Chain A
């Protein structure tokens, strides 16, 4: 059998009967996005790899619990998000470090990098539930209903976590990097780099 051209439904059907070559197709189809999602949750490369590894192994062992009438990706993400949260370390408070350039930095490109890094740092400080929901929504592109299925929370809770997650991001930036908060109010955070030049 030529597994290279196997479609997902057929691969999953073969997986349920223990066809490991078919599962290799599934793993390689999803591993990059799984690693990226896990990295967003854990913030550590090693932990992201461990989480993805655990998730794919658990998904295989429990593949017969997967309902083929439903999409596979949310089911995989349910396992993946649990694995990533388990691997995620408690965030350690970050000092107002010297690595972030002063707001008086004259180079606009450096300011762009600074803004991006600041938002990344703020994301890393969110509670796991909020960060997971933000990642599922804004990175992985799941709908609120799908996120509810993945996380086991109801849709109202998901809406609430999204809302408060965004507020928390703004609060962290306002409290820790007030000069950036002012800039956010005046202009979008993600500036068009071409326009800056």
Chain B
């Protein structure tokens, strides 16, 4: 195999990469945070500052992990009047006893979902599906910024530093003797609409922002992009539009993904896009059912979303 063969193959692969405008996805965070100052301009100061960083990280962990329950003070758990489900209402298979066997990571899955629900309590786009394809369980919650593993029983990531520019959840299906299957649901809250051909890309507002989806007079930006050639069906519902796509992976296996659009009240960011990426053994019907089942999370019934 020569160098040119490898170059050609990599070029072929790269040609199928997404063509996303990254700027709208990070502009809000960039505009709200100035570049970090450089603390060490002189090399000899660096060890001291590294030591200070360790202290700062330890303090930060104490501040953030404590309330999350790693030290697990019962008084810090949501109370019955907090509007947040009590973590003791967890599903079978994750008993408090199990959790306590891991002293450093005693956080059960339901507690992390509870915490996430707490963080997202006032986020109108905190929606999750209730109808998962058979065998799939909620396994991970994360946002685009810093995240960390806080559970040893099930891999669950969560962050206090909630990014308003996207978060995602994953659902795993584990079957003995088979590869693990993963469905990934990503939420882009700040999706805008521009008129097709508007090079200045000025956001427009429509009485019903959903009218822009699939309309050649408009372009949607800021969310995940799709290959329109792969669109297989578009479903219009009263409160959402669902698009189903069939894609082809690098290994030629087929996978499916769906985009689900909801209308926002925010004039600049008219839409919220849920993108669901599923393995090939998830059928169109299952994916559509999952897309149809996305609902505003009821913090008192979190078991519905697991």
Contacts and interface: CB of A to CB of B under 8 A. Distances in A.
B18 A48 contact: yes
Given A35-B19, A40-B14, A120-B12, A46 B5 contact: no
22 contacts: A31-B21, A31-B22, A32-B19, A39-B17, A40-B17, A43-B250, A45-B18, A49-B225, A52-B20, A57-B29, A60-B26, A89-B182, A123-B9, A123-B13, A135-B10, A138-B3, A138-B6, A139-B7, A169-B1, A169-B6, A170-B1, A188-B2
How many A residues touch the partner, as a band? 35 or more
Given A24-B27, A46-B275, A138 B10 contact: yes
Contacts of A123: 9-10, 13
A31 B18 contact: no
A142 B50 CA distance: 32
B74 to A, nearest CB: 35
B10 A189 contact: no
A72 B230 CA distance: 36
Interface of A: 15-16, 18, 20, 23-24, 27-28, 31-32, 34-40, 43-46, 48-50, 52-54, 56-57, 60-65, 89, 92-94, 97, 99-100, 116-117, 119-121, 123-124, 134-135, 138-139, 166, 169-170, 184, 188-190
Given A31-B23, A49-B20, A97-B251, 10 more contacts: A23-B30, A40-B17, A43-B249, A45-B17, A60-B30, A61-B36, A89-B182, A99-B253, A134-B10, A138-B7
Nearest to A189: B5
B198 interface: no
Contacts of A60: 26, 30, 35
A39 B18 contact: yes
B20 A166 contact: no
A48 B64 CA distance: 29
A40 B22 contact: no
Nearest to A52: B22
Given A139-B10, A190-B8, A28 B19 contact: no
Contacts, number: 149
Contacts of B15: 36
Given A27-B23, A99-B251, A62 B3 contact: no
Interface in B250-275: 250-253, 275
Contacts of A28: 21, 23
Contacts of B16: 39
Nearest to B18: A45
Contacts of A89: 182
Contacts of B38: 64-65
Nearest to A125: B251
Interface in B22-51: 22-23, 25-27, 29-31, 33-38
A92 B172 CA distance: 14
In the A-B complex, the 3 residue pairs with the closest CB atoms = A39-B17, A36-B14, A139-B10
Contact of A190 (B5, B17, B179, B275): B5
A190 B23 contact: no
